[in-house]
């Protein structure tokens, strides 16, 4: 089935509505930043929230860090919705003259790793002091 989907910056009202429907999201979305929504008619079916910051390393450049990306409606996953939101944030990052777009995903999250791989992000697994791998930082150089 084909859906008429819109990917765009979300409004404050849409953000508040999402937080009311899914209270846990307040742990990953803050004020400001870049809030992108995937909408089918009046329904937010997916969202991304990212923020701009100085890269926490001595390079004097900015990055856009994606704190969360989710396709809420599981029946709509694996159809490129998240990839479209990533394309949208990459465009914004270019306009913002950021050096890179980055995110972190837990090591057990196969769909997320596949998503970053498909969108040409580098995958940098993070090794903990005990030798275990906790997750991967993923980066896209603009
Ligand atoms: C991760 C997530 C955002 C991906 O959204 P999506 O719209 O399905 O992503 P896309 O369709 O653009 O791409 C996903 C890719 O991963 C693949 N994939 C998804 N689940 C998979 C699985 N279990 N095993 C192998 N590949 C998988 C898809 O097939 C697709 O690749 P393909 O097009 O080459 O086949 C979605 O699964 C989700 O919302 N997960 C819960 C929240 C989350 O974990 N977010 C990321 C952490 S911040």
| Mean pLDDT rounded to a whole number for the chain | 96
pLDDT (0 to 100) of residue 3: 76
CATH class of this structure's domain 5-141: alpha beta
Best mutation site among 25, 69, 102, 114 for ligand 1 pocket (most ligand atoms within 8 Å of CB): 114
- Asked whether residue 1 carries a pLDDT value surpassing 70, the answer given is no
Gap between the Cα atoms of 71 and 78, Å rounded: 9
**Any residues with CB less than 8 A from the CB of 6 and at least 6 apart, and which?**
37, 38, 39, 40
State yes or no: pLDDT of 2 exceeds 90. Answer: no
At 51-99, the pLDDT tens digits run: 999 999 999 999 999 999 999 999 999 999 999 999 999 999 999 999 9
For residue range 10-55, what is the model confidence (pLDDT) as tens digits?
999 999 999 999 999 999 999 999 999 999 999 999 999 999 999 9
Alpha-carbon torsion (138, 101, 105, 71), positive or negative: negative
Q: Which residue has the least CA distance to atom 3 on ligand 1?
A: 70
**9 Cα–ligand 1 center, Å:** 21
């Amino acid at each position: 089935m084909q859906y008429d989907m819109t990917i765009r910056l979300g409004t404050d009202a849409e953000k508040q509505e999402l937080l009311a429907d899914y209270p846990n999201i307040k742990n990953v979305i803050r004020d400001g930043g870049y809030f992108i929504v995937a909408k089918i008619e009046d329904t937010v079916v997916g969202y991304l929230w990212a923020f701009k910051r100085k890269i926490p390393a001595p390079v004097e450049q900015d990055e856009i860090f994606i704190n969360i990306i989710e396709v809420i409606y599981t029946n709509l996953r694996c159809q490129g919705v998240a990839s479209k939101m990533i394309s949208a944030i990459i465009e914004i990052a270019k306009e913002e003259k950021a050096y890179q777009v980055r995110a972190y995903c837990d090591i057990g999250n196969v769909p997320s790793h596949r998503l970053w791989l498909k969108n040409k992000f580098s995958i940098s697994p993070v090794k903990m002091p005990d030798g275990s791998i906790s997750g991967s930082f993923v980066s896209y150089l603009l």
